[in-house]
Structure 1
Amino acid sequence: MAKMTFIERDGTRKEVDAPLGLSVLEVAHKHGVDIEGACEGSLACSTCHVIVAADWFDKLEAPSEDEEDMLDVAFGVQKTSRLGCQIVMSESLDGLTVSLPPSKKAG
């Protein structure tokens, strides 16, 4: 079992247990973190967009071309943006920190 931290839209840090083999999206849903994941991890949307902490970004496998295409239409993309459905927890990611991007809607 790994640990990971979500930084929610209001800045709240939420450290959670992250079972190995689950995607960041699945871990978020397991712990009630507000990530939509409309396509349920099928790489057909960008609603599970997360911003990976800079010190973790280079430890991830490179995104696929399909993931990069989906990130092109995501809101609030940054240099370390990834799709949560494409990051699978492993022992090497124990301690991973991701932030939720700002919401499209105000308030």
Structure 2
Amino acid sequence: MIDISIEGQNGERRVLEVPEDMGLNLMEVLKAYEYDIQATCGGMALCATCHIEVLEGGEKLGEINDNEMATLDTLPDADRNSRLACQLRPDAAMNGLVIRLKCNN
């Protein structure tokens, strides 16, 4: 298990215990914790309904693939810290990651 923190609108952080060996992506983990993520495209990096901002630990994440970059480029509020949760697979390197959900702002 690894810890990933979700920062809410008020700045409070909730730590989630995330399994790294179940083959889930971060979007699926967030849905399992009952965060309001539509996941309209089913994790194909097409809809951006799982848009997150990486507040801490971005250097621990893998490179953005072309599909993710193309989708993020369509978002007016995306920046260099933006990622799609559906494209991130939790692993040991992500322990301590801090994110904020952008998809339901």
TM-score normalised according to structure 2 size? 0.86
Q: Could you list the runs of 5+ residues in structure 1 that have no partner in the other structure?
A: none
How high is the sequence identity, in percent, across the aligned residues?
A: 29
Q: Which moved more, 1:3-12 or 1:16-25?
A: 3-12
**RMSD of aligned C-alpha atoms?**
1.6
Give aligned pairs, total.
102
C-alpha contact 2:58 2:97 (8 A) present in aligned 1: no
Which range is displaced more, 30-39 or 7-16?
7-16
Where does structure 2 lack aligned partners over 5 or more consecutive residues?
none
Report the residue type matching 1:9 in the other structure.
Q
1:51 maps to 2:40: no
The one-character-per-residue Cα deviations of 1:20-43 (angstroms, maximum 9, x if unpaired) are: 132110111011122222112122
Normalising by structure 1, report the TM-score.
0.84
2 CA distance for matches of 1:87 and 1:10?
25
Change (3 A) 1:49 1:75: farther
